[in-house]
Structure 1
Amino acid sequence: MPAVAGLLTALALGGHRLVPDLGLGLGRLWESALPWSGLVAPAVLLCAALRRAPAAACAAVVPALVWAVVFGPGLLSGGAPPGAAAGGPGLTVVTHNVNAANRDPAATARALLAAGPDLVALEEVTDAALPAYRSVLDGALPHLARTGTVALWSRYPVTESRRLVIDPGWNRSLRAEVRAPGGPVAVYVAHLASVRTTVSGFATAHRDRDIAALAAALDGEPLRRVLLLGDLNTASHDRALAPLTDRLTPAATGFGFSWPAALPLVRIDHILTRELTATDTWTLPATPSDHRPVAARLTA
């Protein structure tokens, strides 16, 4: 049985896009947990040792090898240290779902400034908390674009900003143009719908509609350099993210788990780019939010 579990895990890992949802969202749940599939190999190996089963021990190697092929390149591409420049003018960017119930917005803002960012995108910014964020961020990042509960602070001039309507019922996405080093950048900040657990499985239709609408907006983007920051409420390997990753490149080295903050298990906060290269990505220490901030160093 351990050997069978190891081989089935290897198949489901290598062909994760083929795992069916079965009407319950199971395939997408599996893809959200994909990095943790590596734990199957040591579990199979332990069972093999306890049962003194050499065949099962050999079978443990298969999921380990497949896992290394899938995740090894991302883990080995460590990139440059934060603040290092390579290949052209650089930008350090941070995105953070600060949580509407954040108990200390000012402390959260100070934690984000510790990364030395040029751009900070925040989600779940309430009217009541906005002055506290501004009191800390405005000094270093004087240019602000905000619509609804999303906001962008920039070191460089914001020449245009508007609400981005990807979900008519919500006001939590924007598009801004930033006059950054090396030329203008179209910066999108988005907070997509959450996945809900129901009696019939995982409800993703609302979020998936948001992803499709955001992808359509990107198709009409006239600027060459594009940056998407936000809480996309989907894991890095979830097939649902494909409409965005087909158009933009994820800035990701390592796993970068961002949620839940106390014990991060999945990356749902993302930085994606076009005509910008990530030399490093990292997560910042936990704030009073239930998400951890995600940062990246980008070059033109």
Structure 2
Amino acid sequence: MLGHTWIPNGVGHLGSLVETFLPWTGAAVPLLLLCALVRRSAAAAVAVVLPALTWCALFGGTLLDKRADGGDLTVVTHNVDEHNPHPVRTARALAASGADVLALEELGAATAEYERALADAYPYHVVRGTVGLWSRYPVGASRTVDIAPWPRALRAVVRTPRGPVTVFVAHLLSVRFTATSGFTAAARDAAARRLGAALRAGPPRRTVLMGDLNGTLDDRALSAVTSGLRAAQSEAGAGFGLTWPASFPVARIDHILVRGMDPRASWTLPATDSDHLPVAATLRL
């Protein structure tokens, strides 16, 4: 738990793999305690205290409910899954969330269906490749952010009643785990570096990044993106807010990160027909 940063990433991205599921290392604590009880060893029972305290120090604060009332802007992001069998039903569920700004990733061939289903609730929208932004407020200048050989990220300015907010929507490339090559994350890491450069080049105030980053905030490979941003779930959530896979979430790879504004609350929404859970946050501008 304490030495994960010393695990090298040079072979099979082992460090990133461990950090992706780092909170689950706590599962070893009850197993160690069970072993101590079976052996009836007081020394072994005392030894369990160290990893238990370590886990609590690292992640105990995450379990607290830090949600608060207030906020000027509600945002939602969702990887809708390009193989989603019911895109219209998913779109209607997202619109019912009451979000002011909606970010969708992995649109695929169903883009036109989402555009039609969301048109009434969100009169302004922009789509770049497989990612899109829908808004109740006017959307100003927008452009593709070059992070991959095909469009997977965009930057747009949303003109809210409290002033402009720069919104990034991104879907970093997928990772895989195989017995022969390990945790294959090189393409995702390269995309993260490009996205991080775009974020640093952007305006210093009122920026929100939403999307599927295909990694957790503990993963060192995403530091180029997360540096200088604040995670809505970490600051204003309750629990880990795990998002993938939707049927039994084990990792939070869908994120809302902000700069120049304060997260007031963060939560996951009910499952749709996607393999990811949607996530939401209210922000104070």
For 1:244, the equivalent position in structure 2 comes to 225
Native 8 Å contact 1:190 1:232 kept in 2: yes
The alignment-based identity, stated in percent, is: 52
Instruction: Say whether residues 1:122 and 2:92 are aligned partners.
Output: no
Native 8 Å contact 2:101 2:133 kept in 1: yes
For 1:111, the equivalent position in structure 2 comes to 93
For 2:212, the equivalent position in structure 1 comes to 231
Native 8 Å contact 1:186 1:223 kept in 2: no
Shift of 1:77: 4.4
Task: Tell me the C-alpha RMSD between the 2 structures.
Answer: 1.4
Q: 1:163-197 CA distances to partner (integer Å, 9 max, x unpaired)?
A: 11122x11111110000132111100011111122
Shift of 1:146: 0.6
Shift of 1:291: 0.7
Q: For 1:189-228, list aligned pairs within 5 A.
A: 189-198=169-178, 199-222=180-203, 224-228=205-209
Instruction: Say whether residues 1:287 and 2:272 are aligned partners.
Output: yes
Shift of 1:290: 0.8
For 1:9, the equivalent position in structure 2 comes to none
Residue type of the partner of 2:263?
A
Residue type of the partner of 1:144?
H
CA distance in 2, matches of 1:53, 1:119: 56
For 2:240, the equivalent position in structure 1 comes to 255
For 1:28, the equivalent position in structure 2 comes to 16
Q: 1:129-182 CA distances to partner (integer Å, 9 max, x unpaired)?
A: 223222332211111011111100001100111111122x11111110000132
175, 192, 216: which one pairs with 2:155?
Answer: 175
Instruction: Say whether residues 1:57 and 2:45 are aligned partners.
Output: yes
Name the count of aligned residue pairs: 280
244, 255, 260: which one pairs with 1:275?
Answer: 260
116, 122, 137: which one pairs with 2:118?
Answer: 137
Higher deviation after alignment, 67-76 or 116-125: 67-76
Describe the SS at the equivalent of 1:107: helix
CA distance in 1, matches of 2:261, 2:58: 24
Native 8 Å contact 1:185 1:223 kept in 2: no
Native 8 Å contact 2:76 2:279 kept in 1: yes
Describe the SS at the equivalent of 1:228: strand
For 2:133, the equivalent position in structure 1 comes to 152
Residue type of the partner of 1:15?
G
Native 8 Å contact 1:147 1:171 kept in 2: yes
Native 8 Å contact 2:67 2:265 kept in 1: yes
For 1:78, the equivalent position in structure 2 comes to 66
For 1:164, the equivalent position in structure 2 comes to 145
For 1:298, the equivalent position in structure 2 comes to 283
Native 8 Å contact 1:184 1:223 kept in 2: no
CA distance in 2, matches of 1:244, 1:229: 11
Native 8 Å contact 1:286 1:293 kept in 2: yes
Q: Which runs of 5+ in 2 are unaligned?
A: none
Shift of 1:79: 1.3
Higher deviation after alignment, 17-26 or 264-273: 17-26
Superposition TM-score, scaled by structure 1 size = 0.89
Q: Which runs of 5+ in 1 are unaligned?
A: 1-12
Shift of 1:114: 2.8
